[in-house]
Structure 1
Amino acid sequence: MMKKQSWFERNFGWIRQDFRRLLFQLRQPETWVVIGMLTAFGLIIFFVFRLALRSDNLLRSLHPGSVICREPGEKSIAFVFASGFFFALFALASLGEFILFIDNKRRRFDYGARQALKWAAGWGMAALAIGATSFFLLDRFCR
C-alpha cells in the first residue's frame, strides 16, 4: 500500500528535489572548477572594462576632474578591442573543452578526457594571458 502524498508534497515537492540535485552537484569538484573559471574570467572582464571606461574620451570630457587616465592611442584601442574578442573566444573554448572533459570522464573515455583537459588548460591560459595583457596595457595609461 502506497503512502498518500500531501497536497504540499504533490505540488511543491519538485523544489525539494531540485535542492537535493543542487547539493549533489555542489559536492562534485568539477562544479567548483567551472565556478572558479567563470569567476576568474568575470573578474578579468570587470577590471579591464573598468579601466577601459576610465580612459574613454567621452567620459573624460563629461567628468574631467574624476579621470586620472591619459588617452590611449589608436593602436592601443585597436589592440584592446581585438584582444577582447579573442579573450571571449578563448574563454568560451576553455569552458567548452572542460565540459567535454566532464562528459568524456562520465563516459569513461580516458584518452579523450585527458586531451580535453589539456585543451581546456591551454585555452584557459591563453584567455588569462590575453586578459592580463589588456589589463596591464590599460593600467599603464591610468598612472
Structure 2
Amino acid sequence: MKTLVTPLQALRLAFPEGEALPPGTVAEADIAAAERRYIVPVIGHALHARLLEGAYETFRTDYLAAPTALFTRLQLQPRLDIRTGQCGTTAPKSSWTQPAGDDALRRRQRALRTEARTLLRRAAEHLDAHRTEFPEYDPTENILKRCSTDGGFVQMR
C-alpha cells in the first residue's frame, strides 16, 4: 500500500520526542485512511495518484507530510488513549501517571485538528498559487473552496 508518508515518518512528524511510541503504532492502513478522509478531498484524486507515484517530491515533503501525519494521529489518538484486553476497554494508569480527563482529551484533539487543518490550507494555497506546476490539480475538486469550518462556523461557498 502506497501512502504519502511512511509509518515511521508519521511517528516522527506527529509525535514529539517526549511521546516516543513503538514503530508498529502507526500502520500504513491508518495513513491511507487519513489521506482518503482529509487530504484527497482537498488535492483531488489525480494529484494524489501522481504523488503516490513519486511525483512532486518537494511538495509532498514540504506541504503534505506534516498534515498527513497529524491527521493520522488525530484518527489514532482515541485508540492510543484506551486499551482493550481480557478485562474489556480500560484507560492506562500506573503509579506515576493518571489517564487524562475528558476535557484534556478534547482540547488535545481540537489542537491536533487545528494544526493539521492549518497546514493543509497552506498546501492548498500553494497549489492555487502554483497551479501551472501541478496540472493534475483541479481547484473545483478542492472541498475547501466549497465548504470550511472556521471558529466553529460552517461556511459554504
Please state which band the TM-score falls in when normalised by the shorter chain. Answer: 0.3 to 0.5
Structure number with the higher helix fraction is 1
TM-score w.r.t. the length of structure 2 is 0.35
TM-score w.r.t. the length of structure 1 is 0.38
Structure number with the higher strand fraction is 2
